[in-house]
Amino acid sequence: MRIISGKLKGKSMFFLKNSVTRPLKDSVKENIFNILKHSNLINTSIEGADILDLYSGIGSFGIECISRGAKKVTFAEQDKNALSILKKNLIKLSIINDTEIFNGKIENIFKIDRKEKYDIFFLDPPFSDNEFIYYLNSIKKSRIYKNKHIIIIHREKGSDDLLEDFMNILITKQYGRSKIIFGIFN
C-alpha cells in the first residue's frame, strides 16, 4: 500500500489484513481525491484543512490528506491492531506531529468538549455498521464543522442509509463494491 500523491508520494505504509478492517482501495481513494480537487460542487480544499477520520483503520485516507497538505488529521479508531499499525505508519512517515489519535469507542470522541472545528469528515465504517448515522447526528449537533465543510462516507454499493435526514447529498459514486457519498450538513 502506497501514498498516491503529495509530499509523501510513493512511500509505503504498513497494512493490516483481518476480518475486522478493510483498507480503502487505492483506486477508490484516488477517485475521492480527484472529486475533492476538481468538482465544482465541493468548496472544501485539502490544503490547510482540519480533518476528522472516523473508523480510520491504518490511516490510509488521513495520511494521504497530510501528504496533500492537510493541516491536521484527527484519527479515531478502536481496534487495537489497526491502531498499532496506524501509529507505526505515522512514525515511519514522520508525520505524527500533524495528527491526533483518539483510541476508543467512536461515540466517546463526541463526549469530549472539542474546541476544534473540521473541514473534512471521513467515515469508513464496516459495511454492516449503521451506528455511523448516530455519529453524523452527533457531529451535526455539536457543530464541530466549519462553514465550508464536506462529509465523505464509504459504504457498500447496495446500502440504503437514509442519509438525507442528516445531510444534503452532493455526489454519489460507485466503484465496484464501494459507494462513496459526498455531502454537507443542511
What grid cell was written down for 92?
515511519
Higher pLDDT among residues 22 and 80, named by residue: 80
Is 21's pLDDT higher than 70? no
Is 74's pLDDT higher than 90? yes
Q: Where exactly are the structural domains of the chain?
A: 26-180
Mean per-residue pLDDT, 112-127: 88
Residue by residue, DSSP assigns 20-41 as S--PPPHHHHHHHHHHHHH-TT
pLDDT of residue 169: 95
With respect to CATH, is domain 26-180 assigned 3.40.640.10? Answer: no
Q: Say what the pTM is.
A: 0.93
User: Which region among 3-12, 19-28, 110-119, 137-146 has the lowest average model confidence (pLDDT)?
Assistant: 19-28
Long-range contact pairs involving 112-117 (C-beta distance under 8 Å, separation at least 24): 114/142, 114/144, 116/50, 116/74, 116/144, 117/50, 117/143, 117/144, 117/145, 117/146
Distances (CA, A) of 43 to 35, 58, 170: 11, 27, 11
* Residue 106's pLDDT band (cuts 50, 70, 90): confident
* Residue 15's pLDDT band (cuts 50, 70, 90): confident
Is 89's pLDDT higher than 70? yes
